[in-house]
Structures are given as C-alpha cells and as structure tokens.
Structure 1
Amino acid sequence: MRFALGVEYDGTAFLGWQRLSQPGTDGPPTLQAALEAALSSVADAAVETVCAGRTDAGVHGLCQVVHFTTDVVRDPRAWVLGTTGRLPQGVAVRWCTPVRDDFHARFSARARRYRYRLLDRMVRPALGRQYLAWSRRALDAEAMHRAAQALLGENDFSSFRTVHCQATHARRNLQRIEVRREGAEIVIDVQANAFLHHMVRNIVGSLMEVGAGERPEPWVAEVLAARDRTLAGPTAPSAGLVFVGPLYPPEWGLPDEVTE
C-alpha cells in the first residue's frame, strides 16, 4: 500500500530535509533520515520516503507531506503513533492516510507555501527565537508588500536563488506574496508552484532592504529582471522560515489543510 503522511518539525537541530547518507546507515542528522528510521522500526522493514518539498538546514515544517510504499500491514493510527514515538522530540507525524498508487508527494502537488516571521526591534528576541528572524532596523511592512507584488506571475528567479541550486531552470510561478505586520512582527506569506534553493530567504532579504529604506520599491522589479544573484539583497536567516505545506487537488482525499 501507499500512504501519505503529514509531518511537523522543528528544523533547528537538522541539516535540512534530504538524507545525506545511504538508507539504513549513520550519517548527518536530517529529517528524512530520522523519519525513515522511525518508519522502518514500525514496519520492521526498510521504508524509503518522498517529500513534497525539501527544506534547508534550520528551516521548520508545519505540514510537510510525504509518501511511502510498503507491503507491511499497519493501520494509519499505528503509523502515526508508532512513528512519532520513535522520532526526536522536535518531529511528529500529525496524520496518515492511504492513497492511490499513483499519488506522488512531489509531483501531485499544485503549489507550495512558506511563511517567514521577522521581529524588527532594537533588542533580539529571547522567547521563540528559534522561529523568528530579527532585524535591529525598523521595517516598513507596507512598502515591502508593495515592492513584492512585482514578483507575481511566472518569472525567471535567477536573482533569488543560490549558486548551489541544482534546479534545471529558474522559471517559477509565484502565485501569492503578502507582507503584513502583526504586532511587533512582520509576516511574509509566499505561495508558488515550486521554489528554488534559498528563493524565499533571498526574496525576504531583498524586501528587508526596501523596508529599511535603503532601496526604493521599484528596485525589486529591477533585480528580478536582471537575473543576477549578486544584485539582490542578502539571504535572510533560516530560523524565521516555515514550510507551511503543499496543496493538492481534492481528488487525492487528503486533509483540508493541504487541499485546495
């Protein structure tokens, strides 16, 4: 059978999602390796997983979607509770549901969503600091939002991807980007069909330049058009970034939080 899982995680202690060693061998701490070890323990057999979207070191996940195929008979509750009980404290399986054999966590998704939280005040945060980026500079969220709208649509995002990005091309369809202030924090929500390596963090770093008044709002559009990473702002810290989750068509019967 094939199953889909919804996985929540604090990425602070992990070197990103992707396993960096062969299945079943010791290697650097990654989320995929931890999840597969726990699933394999429940199954008493090797289990390999495919995720909706890989996240970088230090990035968190609200509802990462994963699929795996196994001949082992377990009900969804056993997969959820048994796997979570074998995972580090910062990782939990929230739900499990059987899916058709043609479901693919990555290729069946129509979109992915990220949220970035940023505290702009003179003093660094003490509470919740692993989930917040911090800026000493006061930022204008409204100016950041206006500047960000130039990124909407299908574009070449070469200016906002790391030089280590392995994607075959840089064209992505940015479907929504919203910047708003919530009390002392600035929240940035981004949705696209897919993302490049460091794309969200590089966009945020550039928007922060606008928010601080160091760049005019039209500058973001100029950077996008230039297709040159050296012209964009710095990469924003990973701590503020959460992978909210992918979105799938209703036909797959997944929970509402990942269905559009």
Structure 2
Amino acid sequence: MPRYKLIIEYDGRPFCGWQLQPQVPTVQGMLQQAVKKFSGYDLLVEGSGRTDTGVHAKGQVAHVDLPRPDAPYRVLKGLNFFLQESGIAIVAVEEVDESFHARFSAKRRQYIYRIINRRAPLTFEQGLAWHVNKPLDVEKMMAGAALLVGVHDFTTFRSINCQAPNPVRRLDRFELIQQGEEILATIESRAFLHNQVRIMMGSLKMIGEGRWTLKDLQEALLARDRTRGGVTAPPDGLYFSRIFY
C-alpha cells in the first residue's frame, strides 16, 4: 500500500482537538471520513502530534496508506473535495517511503502563539489570537522566554492531567517578536508536554503585565510544581506550525 504524507491546516474552533473521539467532531475523525469517501476504505490517518480543543494548525503533518497508487495531486484534490467547508484543508501531498512515520520520524516540532495587545476588542481575529487589553512589556517577556530555553524539568508548566512519564524536555527555541499590536512567539522542541506552550505563554503574560519578575519565573521553574506556574493561555492563539524531519 503506498504511503502519502499530508500537510494540513485547520481552524481548531469547530473541533474537540485532533484525536478521534466518539460522538464529537475531531480533526482526525473528519480526515478519516474524507479518506473513506475518497478511497472506499476505513483507513487510519496518523498525525505527527495531537492538538487540543480550539487549537489551530498551519503545518500539521499526517500520513495515510492508501489501497492503490494515485498521483499526489489527485489525492490532494480528492480529499479537499470531501473536506469542503469543514475548516480543514490539505495544502500538500507527497508519496513517501513506508519507513516514514508522521509522528516517530519527526525531529522537532514548532508552535506559534499569537497575542493581540490592544484595548479594542477583536473582530476579525476573534478566536484566532489571545486578546490582552493591558499593555505588555515585550522586552521582559523576551527575557523570560530565554530563561526557559534548554533542558529543564517542566513540571510547573504542564497540565496536571499530562500523562507523559518524564517531565524533562529540551526547549530548542523560544523567541518573541512584536509587530505593531501583535506579539508573536515561536517555540520549538522535539516534544512538548500537555499544555506546556499555553502555560509558558500565560506565565510570560504575567511578566509582561508586571505581576511577575524574572526571578519569579525562575523560582517557579525550579519549584517543579504546577500550582507555582502561571495561568494557562487560551487555545485561541496557538498554532501547530511546522514539523522538521
């Protein structure tokens, strides 16, 4: 069975996350329905990683083994036909070797988090960014992000429901830039803990507001205690951006 790599973008608002669940709409579920309509078979669409309810993607990667060879452009066109108005789009399709695995072949994952920092409420960006109406000190937030780069025990910055057996992760990149009223964070690691990015962003917001100092962030990290961490940022601003293979 030929294997196809799919690059996928989606608006996470209508979905209860990536992973297939009974009785609720999920991204994986919608993709598998489209694959069945296209191929005639019930097939597994294996993703590179899960996203939670409301989280978006610009570069999610998945693979699927189809029962017969087909040109990648036909796979792309066919799947997108059955995904019309779903909030999901296949942006690229590539036939790959059977050794490729969307999840286990990944070397690094990239997330982007968007904050819109202004007094006025959001209109076009509603649900697509975190609206923060208090002024933020972005330079201090940048300094806080730099403190989290490297190998750390991120217990303070993971959900209490996280099932990962080991809370130690290597954060390869955590950078913030400001473009007008938008603050854009880029975060990269081989693997993330549940809610890690959102809790780190919530903690940086507290620094930006002056409610936390850099010392508070350092002490929270060393405490290895979720109750010492910052708030969990909403899913609105989080995007699964890119996978490096």
Under a length normalisation based on structure 1, what TM-score does the superposition of the two structures give? 0.91
Q: Is 1:46 paired with 2:47?
A: no
**Partner residue in 2 for 1:254:** none
Contact 2:3 2:66 in 1 (8 A): yes
SS across alignment from 2:214: coil
How many aligned positions are there? Answer: 243
Q: What one-letter code is carried by the residue in structure 2 that aligns with 1:66?
A: A
5+ long unaligned stretches in structure 2: none
- Separation in structure 1 between the aligned mates of residue 187 and residue 26 of structure 2, nearest angstrom: 24
Q: CA deviation at 1:159?
A: 0.6
**Partner residue in 1 for 2:160:** 163
- Separation in structure 1 between the aligned mates of residue 203 and residue 141 of structure 2, nearest angstrom: 9
- Separation in structure 2 between the aligned mates of residue 229 and residue 62 of structure 1, nearest angstrom: 29
Q: CA deviation at 1:130?
A: 2.0
Question: Cα deviation per residue 1:159-183 (whole Å; 9 max; x = unaligned)?
Answer: 1111111112111110000112110
Q: CA deviation at 1:17?
A: 0.3
1:177 counterpart (174, 187, 194)? 174
RMSD, matched Cα: 1.0
5+ long unaligned stretches in structure 1: 22-26, 249-260
SS across alignment from 1:218: helix
Q: Is 1:6 paired with 2:7?
A: yes
- Separation in structure 2 between the aligned mates of residue 119 and residue 170 of structure 1, nearest angstrom: 30
Contact 1:155 1:172 in 2 (8 A): yes
**Partner residue in 1 for 2:141:** 144
**Partner residue in 2 for 1:28:** 24
**Partner residue in 2 for 1:186:** 183
Question: Which stretches of structure 1, 4 residues or more, deviate above 3 A after TM superposition?
Answer: none
**Partner residue in 1 for 2:198:** 201
- Separation in structure 2 between the aligned mates of residue 212 and residue 166 of structure 1, nearest angstrom: 31
Q: What one-letter code is carried by the residue in structure 2 that aligns with 1:144?
A: M
**Partner residue in 2 for 1:94:** 91
Contact 1:118 1:135 in 2 (8 A): yes
How do residues 73-152 of structure 1 correspond to structure 2 at under 5 angstroms? 73-89=69-85, 90-152=87-149
Q: CA deviation at 1:223?
A: 1.2
Under a length normalisation based on structure 2, what TM-score does the superposition of the two structures give? 0.96
- Separation in structure 1 between the aligned mates of residue 84 and residue 52 of structure 2, nearest angstrom: 18
- Separation in structure 1 between the aligned mates of residue 216 and residue 158 of structure 2, nearest angstrom: 17
**Partner residue in 2 for 1:70:** 66
Greater Cα offset, 43-52 or 200-209:
43-52
How do residues 205-216 of structure 1 correspond to structure 2 at under 5 angstroms? 205-216=202-213
